[in-house]
Amino acid sequence: MHKRDFGFKELLVWQKALDFADEMIALTEKLNSDTKHYRLVEQLESSAASVAQNIAEGKGRNSKKEFIHFLYIARGSLYETITIINIFHRRQWISYEELGNAELKAFEIASMIKGLINSIK
């Protein structure tokens, strides 16, 4: 395998965000709900994937200011994802353990994003 020149792939926060998105997609695949709420399910998948996507897009920009802007967008997508999974928990589509696990991972990613923003400023 050849090394690609994508600097974002070396960021631990991007790697964790990618893992988080994969886990959220896996969570949707086993939801305890019927399909009439497909838009919420799609929104969860979209917002979870958006975290890593925005970290990557920001890293690919030409300025620190733009990178920071995209990191804030990534953090917003992360908060959106947590809101949706809290709705899922209220609807009893996911367990308390699944909610807690997702929130713990999201908190770690949010802390890493904050640290990255502070290191760039």
Grouped pLDDT means (10 residues each) for the chain, 121 residues = 72 97 94 76 96 96 93 98 96 94 98 96 82
Looking at residue 7, its pLDDT comes to 84
Looking at residue 62, its pLDDT comes to 82
Residue 116 placed within a domain: yes
At 89, which CATH number?
A: 1.20.1440.60
Residue 90 placed within a domain: yes
User: How many Cα atoms occupy the beta-carbon half-sphere of 4 within 13 Å?
Assistant: 6
Residue 59 placed within a domain: yes
Number of structural domains in the chain: 1
Kindly report whether the global pTM for this prediction surpasses the value 0.85.
Answer: yes
Q: How confident is the model over 16-48, as pLDDT tens digits?
A: 999 999 999 999 988 876 666 788 999 999 999
Residue 96 placed within a domain: yes
Range of the domain at 67: 38-120
Residue 22 placed within a domain: no
> Please, which contacts does 64-67 make with residues 24 or more away whose CB atoms are closer than 8 Å?
64/120, 64/121, 67/120
Looking at residue 2, its pLDDT comes to 52
Residue 57 placed within a domain: yes
